[in-house]
Amino acid sequence: MNFDLADLRGFLAVADLGSFSAAAQAMHLSQSALSRRVDKLETALGVQLFERTTRKVELSTIGRGFVPRARNVLNELENALIGFHDLSHRLSGEVTIACVPSAVGYFLPDVIAQYHAKYPGIRIRVIDESSSTILTVVARGEADFGLTYIGTQDSEVVFQPLLEEDFIVALRVGHPLTVRPSLTWDDLSGSDYISLAQGSGNRFLIDQALAKRDVCPRSFCEVKHVPALVSLVEAGLGIGVVPKLAMPADGHPTLVTRPLTQPSISRSLGLISRRGRALSPVAQLLFDLLMTRRKLSV
- The pLDDT score that the predictor gives to residue 229 is 96
Distance CA 167, CA 145 (A): 25
Strand partners, 261: 184
Tell me what pLDDT residue 85 has. Answer: 52
pLDDT (tens digit, 9 = 90+) per residue, 20-67? Answer: 888 888 788 888 888 889 998 888 888 899 988 777 888 888 888 888
Distance CA 152, CA 157 (A): 8
Whether the per-residue pLDDT at 154 is higher than 90: the answer is no
Local confidence band at 98 (pLDDT 50, 70, 90 cut-offs): very high
Q: Which of 19, 54, 82 is the last residue of a domain?
A: 82
CATH label of the domain that carries residue 13: 1.10.10.10
Closest CA to 148 of 123, 169, 131, 132: 131
Alpha helices in the chain (DSSP H): 5-17, 20-27, 31-45, 61-82, 101-118, 131-139, 201-209, 226-234, 281-291
Q: What is the mean pLDDT of residues 203-208?
A: 90
Task: Supply the pLDDT for residue 81.
Answer: 63
CATH of the domain at 235: 3.40.190.10
Among residues 58, 82, 106, which one ends one of the domains?
Answer: 82
Please give the single-letter amino acid code of residue 26. Answer: A
Q: How confident is the model at residue 281 (pLDDT cuts 50, 70, 90)?
A: confident
Average pLDDT (66-80) is 79
- How much is the pLDDT for 79? 67
Q: What is the mean pLDDT of residues 74-93?
A: 64
Residue 182 within a domain = yes
User: For the chain, what is the mean pLDDT?
Assistant: 87
- Sorted by sequence, the CB contacts under 8 Å of residue 276 that are 6+ apart come out as none
Q: What is the pLDDT of residue 83?
A: 58
Q: Does residue 156 lie within any of the structural domains?
A: no
Q: Could you tell me if residue 201 is inside a domain? A: yes
Q: Find out whether 17 and 142 touch, Cβ atoms under 8 Å.
A: yes
159: in domain: no
pTM for the predicted model, two decimal places:
0.70
Beta pairing, strands 57-59 & 50-52: antiparallel
Poorest-pLDDT segment among 169-178, 204-213, 224-233: 204-213
Same domain, 169 and 261: yes
Domain extent, residue 210, equals: 165-265
Question: Domain for residue 192, yes or no?
Answer: yes
Q: How many domains does the chain have?
A: 2
Q: What percent of the chain has pLDDT over 70?
A: 93
**Within a domain: 248:** yes
For 100-119, what is each residue's pLDDT tens digit? 988 898 899 999 999 998 88
Structural domain includes residue 54 = yes
Answer yes or no: is 50 within a domain. Answer: yes
CA angle 244, 102, 133 (to 5 degrees): 140
